[in-house]
Amino acid sequence: MSLSQEEIEKIATELAPMLVSQVRKDHHDFWIDPEIHYKDHLDIRNWIDNLNSAQKIFWTGFLGFVVIGMITLAAVGMIPKLKFW
């Protein structure tokens, strides 16, 4: 016996709410509200975006200090060759 797509969709539409209510009743401690779950994922996404921004700022600053340090060391190394005194 083969079911048509329309019959499958009708069974699924009627069965899904019953399954969800049964899971909520039996596994109440483990049930996560869909809206809270969605917001948690948004919070995680925001945290990851903030982490990526912080990494970019860190590396920009670090490389800036490296460049300034290299220029400073080059200038200090040239002081003996300059005949100011």
pLDDT by residue (tens digit) across 9-65?
999 999 999 888 887 777 666 677 788 888 888 889 999 999 999 999 999 999 999
**CA 33, chain centre distance (Å):** 21
Distance CA 8, CA 2 (A): 10
3-state SS, residue 10: helix
Contact 24, 31 (CB under 8 A): yes
The predicted pLDDT at position 80 comes to: 76
Which tens digits make up the pLDDT trace of 58-85?
999 999 999 999 999 998 888 777 776 5
For 37: left if phi > 0, alpha if psi spans -120 to 50, otherwise beta; the answer is alpha
Structure token pair of residue 67: 């460049």
